[in-house]
Amino acid sequence: MTQPLLSVEHLAVHFAGRGRLFSPDPPPVKAVNDVSFTIDSQRTFGLVGESGSGKSTVARAILQLVDIHDGSIHLDGDDVTRVARSAELGFRKRVQAVLQDPFSSLNQVHTTETIIGDPITRHLAIKAGDERRERVADLLDLVGLGHEFLDRYPYEMSGGQRQRISIARALAVEPDLVIADEATSALDVSIQSQVINLLREIQRERDVAFLFIAHDLEVVSHMSHDVGVMYLGYLVERGPSDDVYAQPTHPYTEMLIASIPFPEPGEQAKRRGLRQTFKVAEPPSPANLPPGCPFENRCPVAMDICREEMPAVTQAHHGGEARCHLHTSGPELGGGSVVEFIRSEARGNVGV
Ligand SMILES: Nc1ncnc2c1ncn2[C@@H]1O[C@H](COP(=O)(O)OP(=O)(O)OP(=O)(O)O)[C@@H](O)[C@H]1O
Ligand code: SF4
Ligand SMILES: [Mg+2]
């Protein structure tokens, strides 16, 4: 079996809680808990989930911007969990990031040539001059921008153009993995799809893997080979994107799919009916997680065990994994798929 490019095992990241007057010793914020996934070379793994589910914290842990409470991260088999060790392995060159807001992540006082050229000098030891300028021009070709952008400043560009510059900068040092955290979320829908298509083209041309993070399951599954769905710091479902999208095996994934607008009126009505079966409730706080399933207070098919025990990760029928008691303790399931079960319950409740 070939070794994955990135392997995240049982990752946990906890932040210190904020003290208050009458509770000076607050519990930690458990932002990421027991998260495991792998990314193979030249593949895209998508991470999706609502705001606060821990997606960026996973990204920041891989980029070594936050301390890890538990678990490990390996790149090509090398343990890069600790910064000192990874510094020896040229980690900064191998893993690059493209973030949501290209305006604040690009240095406003530098031209494109410097913005993209500086990492080339730092990591590939090519000094400013003709060779470096030529490399930057090639990268502009790759991201679909003309050479006139070489001497432009970020404030002279549109949001989509700035994001293309950020992508070119990330690719400049020939990384193995690019982490794109909400890289398209701030862009208009039409520009968003251009940038997504660009990333897909780049992957065909260059030997690069992506960790693609976004709120929208449709966008993420379009972009990714495999997808992970996060809820309150847990990876609740993971598997091949098309299968997770077509046949989800976790109620929360089903809820995300039911929330996607659909042009066909019949299907739209079905989704609306399905949406109504999910209870309206605030998710628990990551500083005070319940003993059972964190999705229990919103789940339309919760059982007694869900309140008491945290579900373990089990194999799902699409070949991936799910963290839900329905896979192990749901006598009502009777061997059928989870999604059919939820839909039949929903049919009973609201006639979808
Ligand atoms: N430095 C920090 N200190 C304390 N809590 C934090 C810190 N960073 C993140 N958190 C908390 O960790 C949880 C996960 O946050 P994170 O930013 O990873 O979520 P996210 O899925 O990326 O959300 P979004 O979709 O809004 O970007 C949230 O409850 C957040 O408030
Ligand atoms: S474990 Fe229980 S509450 Fe959680 S998603 Fe599965 S059925 Fe619903
Ligand atoms: Mg985030």
Counting Cβ atoms within 10 Å, is residue 245 exposed (0-12), middle (13-18) or buried (19+)?
buried
Per DSSP, the three-state class of 64 is coil
Which ligand 1 atom lies nearest to the CA of residue 54? 18
Residues with CB under 6 A from ligand 2: 251, 293, 295-296, 299, 301-303, 306, 311, 324-326
Each residue's pLDDT, cut to its tens digit, for the chain (352 residues) gives 689 999 999 999 999 887 666 666 788 999 999 999 999 999 999 999 999 999 999 999 999 999 999 999 999 999 998 777 667 668 889 999 998 876 778 899 999 999 999 999 999 999 999 999 999 999 999 999 999 999 999 999 998 999 999 999 999 999 999 999 999 888 888 888 888 998 999 998 888 999 999 999 989 998 999 999 999 999 999 999 999 998 899 999 999 999 888 888 888 888 888 888 898 999 999 999 999 999 999 999 899 999 999 999 999 888 899 999 988 876 555 445 666 777 676 556 544 4
Residues present in the chain in total = 352
Within a 13 Å sphere around the CA of 67, how many CA atoms are in the beta-carbon half?
A: 4
Per-residue model confidence (pLDDT) at position 351: 46
Of 3.40.50.300, 2.102.10.10, 2.40.50.140, 3.30.590.10, the CATH number of 6-15+27-231 is 3.40.50.300
**Ligand 1 pocket, Cβ-based, cut-off 6 angstroms:** 15, 29, 31, 49, 51-57, 215, 286
Per the listing, tokens 């701030």 go with 186
Task: Outline which parts of the chain fall under CATH 3.40.50.300.
Answer: 6-15+27-231
Q: What is the pLDDT of residue 89?
A: 66
Ligand nearest the Cα of residue 53 is 1
Question: Tokens 């930057």 appear where?
Answer: 136
Q: What is the pLDDT of residue 347?
A: 57
d(CA 54, CA 33): 9
